[in-house]
Amino acid sequence: MSPTLPLAAPLMALGLVLAPAHGQEAARQPADLVRSLQTLQDEIALGSAGTHLSQRARLAQIAEQLALAKPEVWKEPRNARAAVTFVLSGGDPRILKKLSEGGMLSALDAKLVQGVVAYGEGRSAEAAELLVPIAARWLEPGIAGHLALVQAELTAGKEPRKALAFFDEARLLSPGTLIEEAALRRQISLIAATKDYDRFDMLAANYLRRFARSVYAASFRQQFAADVAARDAASAGRMAKLVGALEAVDAPERRDIYLLIAREALIRGKFELARLAGDKAVHLAEAASPEWRRASLYAAAAFVVGGDMETGMSTLEAMDKAGLDEEDAELLAAARSVAAEVRRLPAASQAAADGPPPGAVEAARQSMARVDQLIEAVSK
């Protein structure tokens, strides 16, 4: 199955509008058709949004051409393997199933063919039983990386450590392809749950450096920021490693990542992380640019709600919400409200010297409850 798309639409639904141009596609060998599909999919990893949008139609078109191929075509091993690769690439599994039932794929491992059909049809348990034991590294290059990626997907839920090894194998077997991009992206998400932060930082920097233009890079950056902000309380050493890992990323990309981390951390109450990421973004942004204003807002808000109100409040008071988008303007208003609430709390020195005045403790609790509501509102 394709790393990101569901199965192609049924042939009867799309075949009528995707007839072969001048009859040329029908004469092409299945192996050539599937190779052209893989080339197209690899362009997605390089940032071709148009290719991404056209992929579904291309899958249906190739499926139609494979269905027209003569029986003797499938006697050639490379064409038989192409039928398997097509399904692993997101193609309609009915073609492979028909060929298998017709005895036209006798040169291929029966368990491989049955497992790929099961995977294409969404029968994950059966697919795992048939496919996971196969040593992908010994298969033909056109199949090997695809199979390793599928093996990782099939084991990720119940056996994450095994899945991580399969992801590694997929990357090694298909370097520079959409398979590697998908394997690396999904592997990083899985590693985040294991709290292996050093490996997480290293692989994330690798992805951000090599696949920054991928069609899926924007969603990856957002997930990366959320994973970083969701960590346990960050030590100075751990933060230094994160900063070091991101140094390998181009400055504009690094700035945008720090902005995402700062906002996610602020929403999650990780104020030290929000301040650090905001400060990093400030230094990477051009003065008075929209990115600079956002970074300044996040860093100042982190000071306000993180305990150093006066340091952050001077920045917030001087900030014009007209230079912010709607969400950040709401964040500015919330941060100013938080500061106003905090200022109403009894001074700590007075509380220590005189004891709290009647009702002060309850008033403080109510005020802090309102502060929590304000912070929560920002995340919605």
> Which residue type, as a one-letter code, is found at position 365?
R
CB 77 within 8 A of CB 29: no
Is the four-CA dihedral 78, 74, 136, 62 of positive or negative sign?
positive
Cα–Cα distance between 155 and 126 in angstroms, integer? Answer: 12
pLDDT band per the 50, 70, 90 thresholds, residue 22: very low
Whether pLDDT at 8 is above 60: no
Query: What does each C-alpha distance from 247 to 206, 253, 264, 265, 291 come to in angstroms?
Result: 11, 10, 20, 20, 19
**Taking Cα atoms as reference points, which of 219, 84, 59, 221 lies closest to residue 139?**
84
pLDDT band per the 50, 70, 90 thresholds, residue 352: very low
CB 294 within 8 A of CB 281: yes
Range among 226-235, 280-289, 304-313 rated most confident: 280-289
**pTM recorded for the entire structure:** 0.79
> Which residue type, as a one-letter code, is found at position 94?
R
Whether pLDDT at 18 is above 70: no
pLDDT band per the 50, 70, 90 thresholds, residue 27: low
Tokens of 336: 């100013």
The three-class DSSP label of residue 232 is coil
Q: Give percent above pLDDT 70 in the chain.
A: 81
pLDDT band per the 50, 70, 90 thresholds, residue 364: very low
Burial 43-80 (b: 16+ CB within 10 A, else e): bbbeebeebbeebbebbbbbbbbbeebeeebbeeeebb
Higher pLDDT: 8 or 73? It is 73
Burial 119-137 (b: 16+ CB within 10 A, else e): bbbeeeeebbebbbebebe
State residue 339's pLDDT score. 74
Query: Which residue matches tokens 């197209």?
Result: 40
Cα–Cα distance between 202 and 301 in angstroms, integer? Answer: 29
pLDDT band per the 50, 70, 90 thresholds, residue 343: low
Higher pLDDT: 124 or 342? It is 124
Q: If you average pLDDT over every residue of the chain, what do you get? A: 83
State residue 283's pLDDT score. 94
Higher pLDDT: 164 or 268? It is 164
251-267 and 290-306 helices cross at what angle (nearest 10)? Answer: 30
1-5, 106-110, 185-189, 258-262, range with the lowest pLDDT: 1-5
State residue 345's pLDDT score. 62
The three-class DSSP label of residue 337 is helix
Tokens of 230: 């969701």
Cα–Cα distance between 165 and 136 in angstroms, integer? Answer: 12
Element housing 360 (H / E): helix 360-378
Whether pLDDT at 6 is above 50: no
Cα–Cα distance between 34 and 74 in angstroms, integer? Answer: 14
> Which residue type, as a one-letter code, is found at position 67?
A
The string of pLDDT tens digits covering residues 56-107 is: 899 999 999 999 999 999 999 999 999 999 999 999 999 999 999 999 998 8
Region 208-222: mean pLDDT is 93
89-93, 95-99, 244-248, 340-344, range with the lowest pLDDT: 340-344
Region 326-344: mean pLDDT is 80
State residue 350's pLDDT score. 46
Q: Give percent above pLDDT 90 in the chain.
A: 54
Whether pLDDT at 355 is above 50: no
Contacts of 370 (CB under 8 A, 6+ apart): 341
Question: Within 13 Å of residue 92, how many CA atoms lie on the same side as its CB?
Answer: 24
The string of pLDDT tens digits covering residues 167-190 is: 999 999 999 999 999 999 999 999
Region 225-234: mean pLDDT is 82
State residue 2's pLDDT score. 45
